[in-house]
Amino acid sequence: MFDADFFRRWMTATATSVDREAERLTALDSPIGDADHGSNLRRGFTAVTATLEKEAPDTPGGVLTLAGRQLISTVGGASGPLYGTLLRRTGKALGDAAEVSAEQLAEALRAGVEAVMTLGGAAPGDKTMIDALVPAVDALGSGFAAARTAAEQGALATTPLQARKGRASYLGERSIGHQDPGATSAALLIAALAEAAGE
């Protein structure tokens, strides 16, 4: 079972990873986006960890809902609303339970991913964060490490795709050959989850 401390560790691990990878995320965003994905997410997750240190909700759902709210209010562009929706909807699905099981987390995360798909209108294969998140959620039943591998493979698999959603879609065929920055950062989020779980 996973308590609020576990979810705080997940958010802290994500912030550390985003901070470490921010320049790479921005480099990926440069040819097909606004070249600000890394800096935007770094600002957002830095704010998340600062807020969680001050407020520290005592339920898993509370931690994710607060983190999602913070991302929406501090991250510019599409990343804030998308990541904020992912975490808030996952948190809402977890409800007020003091502890949640791996199965409950997987179900809640699926609800979060579906909310992101609804918000952004994206499906698997559109070259977005969904290409990392959907395989990760599908693999969660086999453990956190399996979800991390699936997310990383999903992000890599965006390279030959033509973007059909988001800023990169304006480039048409010129978006082919570039790994999607959103899928890459989504893989970091899932890898941080595996790290928090010790896998």
Segment 101-111, tens digit of pLDDT: 999 999 999 99
User: What pLDDT, on a 0 to 100 scale, did the predictor assign at position 168?
Assistant: 87
Sign of CA dihedral 106, 93, 114, 131: negative
Exposure of 198 by Cβ count < 10 A (0-12 exposed, 13-18 middle, 19+ buried)? exposed
Full-model pTM:
0.96
Query: For 117-164, what is each residue's pLDDT tens digit?
Result: 999 999 999 999 999 999 999 999 999 999 999 999 999 999 999 999
If we measure between CA atoms, which residue out of 194, 128, 129 comes closest to residue 162? 128
User: Where does the pLDDT of residue 72 fall: very low under 50, low under 70, confident under 90, or very high at 90 and above?
Assistant: very high
Average pLDDT value over all residues in the chain = 95
Is the pLDDT higher at 71 or at 168? 71
CA angle at 162 for the pair 156 and 168, rounded to the nearest 5°: 90
Whether pLDDT at 167 is above 90? no
Q: What residues are paired with 2 via a beta bridge? A: 100
Task: At 2, give phi and psi (nearest 5°).
Answer: -120, 130
